[in-house]
Amino acid sequence: MRDSMKIKLIVFITLLLLLCPGCGSKTEPEAGQPNLLLISVDTLRADRLGCYGYKRPTSPTIDRLAEEGVLFENAIATSPQTTPSHMSIITGFYPRAHNVYMWGRDENGTYSGRVLSGEIPTLAEILKGYGYTNVAFTGGANVAGKIGFDRGFEIYDEESNSAAAVEWLRENAEEQFFLFYHTYFTHAPYLPLPPYGSRYDPAYLGKIPSYDELTEELGVVKGELWSGIWQALYNRFWSKVNPADPADRYHLHALYDECIGYVDAVFIKELIDTLRTEGILDRTLIVFTSDHGEEFFEHGRKEHDSIYGEVVRVPLIMRLPGALPGGMRIEQLVRGIDIMPTILELLGIPLDVEIQGTSLLAAATDGKELNLKAHSDYNDFFPPVIDSIRSGPWFLLMDQRTRSGGEPGDGSLPRFFQLFNTDDDPGETRNLAEKYPEVAARLRTELRALRIESSRKHAEEGADQEKAAVDRWNVERLKALGYL
């Protein structure tokens, strides 16, 4: 009798594991189910790519992806910071809900921060449950694995090595895979490798150093990791920039564009060419995006210290022949949180958890109007609080760094609220809050409701959230990027 009960129990457990994609053994993927290549080029503005209307030939490889797939013209990042934005991409939650922001120094001088709650599944974890082999080749630092980004991956390489990604593809082309590739190469300091660096501003005679000049000055052996001098590299670069000099500003744009050209011609092209050579290009869903853009003093700041359009409008391109039309351009507003559910629907995988993102497949294939509202915040180091909501052409910005004057005292919005119409004013320079107070008030109410919703979801899903410290190698990477 006891042996019979044991056999029944074993059969029951076996059936349970087979029926539960995220438990025990993996469920085998369906025949013909696409692979997934998710590419994130850190700090990449949408408007610097040819397919988004840029005049310089920075992105022929990416442009071809757009010609063969779907391009979303108004994709809005959830944050101007790498960690929360990428976490939104892989979870479908706004930063206030997943509650993973940028890490920082604690009272002991250790670089640490919150890790993703175990209650929130990641894209890789879901795909692993359906039989995918998951590998990642990233730049680490603000996407370090221990923050929660490595969950669900069998390999999580933090060297940002495109050659390693290409080698893995060549050796595992028969696998059903999800490959995540991420690079910081377009992040400041902008140091395109030769022969890139002088095509767009060859007559520059100012003090901003080139790659060759900076590496020679700091005694760096070319081709080696710049371990130990990251902070000196970053500081030396910016110490030579004069923001008041038009020539220096122009040169910064040129260097940034050269970095994009290098990424396109080397990193992205190698990945795409490998898929083509291995005969798996057309059965691989390619998703190309970024975590945020970059400001070049359009609103008085450098890098990504705001949530204006130049910082939060990012590229989003998806290619999968047979499932997605080629050459399609989608004008409506979409968000970083929509990437995960769209991927899952394209792969035919059900999403069994409630998230804040929405699949964009109906918009991409049938032109369905989704009427989405986009929320971006910059609350990594608050106060002050910097928050926003976008709805149609309207953009409501709350930036408490501009709190001069405080409350107006007449019942209208505080002065640190600004309202822009991006159809008439794409540069977001004319504040219309006083001209359209009813629009500003409506959006402020919607922003408050969204913040409350996100806080509620965090309370439900993130109760077990813990903190962790990042390793020394990633600290060096953070120094290189100017975060330490």
pLDDT in tens, 88-106: 999 999 999 999 988 877 7
From 58-72, 220-234, 454-468, the region with the lowest mean pLDDT: 220-234
Whole-number pLDDT of residue 335: 98
Asked if 178 and 155 touch (Cβ cutoff 8 Å), the reply is no
The two counts, helices (H) then strands (E), for the chain are 15, 18
Verdict on whether the full-model pTM lies above 0.95 = no
Domains of the chain are 23-371 (3.40.720.10)
Q: Which residue has the higher pLDDT, 462 or 400?
A: 400
407 pLDDT band, cuts 50/70/90, is very low
Model confidence pLDDT, tens digit, residues 16-38: 333 444 443 445 555 578 999 99
- The DSSP result for 334-351, as a single string, is EEGGGHHHHHHHHTT---
Across residues 39-56, what is the average pLDDT? Answer: 97
From 241-250, 329-338, 401-410, the region with the lowest mean pLDDT: 401-410
Angle in degrees, CA 246, 250, 251, rounded to 5: 115
Whether 338 shows a pLDDT value over 50: the answer reads yes
Whether 464 shows a pLDDT value over 80: the answer reads no
Whole-number pLDDT of residue 228: 54
Q: Which of 135, 130, 140 is nearest to 171 (CA)?
A: 135
Mean pLDDT of the chain: 86
Angle in degrees, CA 387, 392, 393, rounded to 5: 85
Whether 409 shows a pLDDT value over 60: the answer reads no
Across residues 325-348, what is the average pLDDT? Answer: 97
Across residues 259-279, what is the average pLDDT? Answer: 96
The residues facing 391 across adjacent strands are 373, 394
Across residues 181-205, what is the average pLDDT? Answer: 91
Model confidence pLDDT, tens digit, residues 291-306: 999 999 999 899 998 9
How many Å apart are CA 448 and CA 457, to the nearest integer?
14
Q: Which residue has the higher pLDDT, 483 or 225?
A: 483
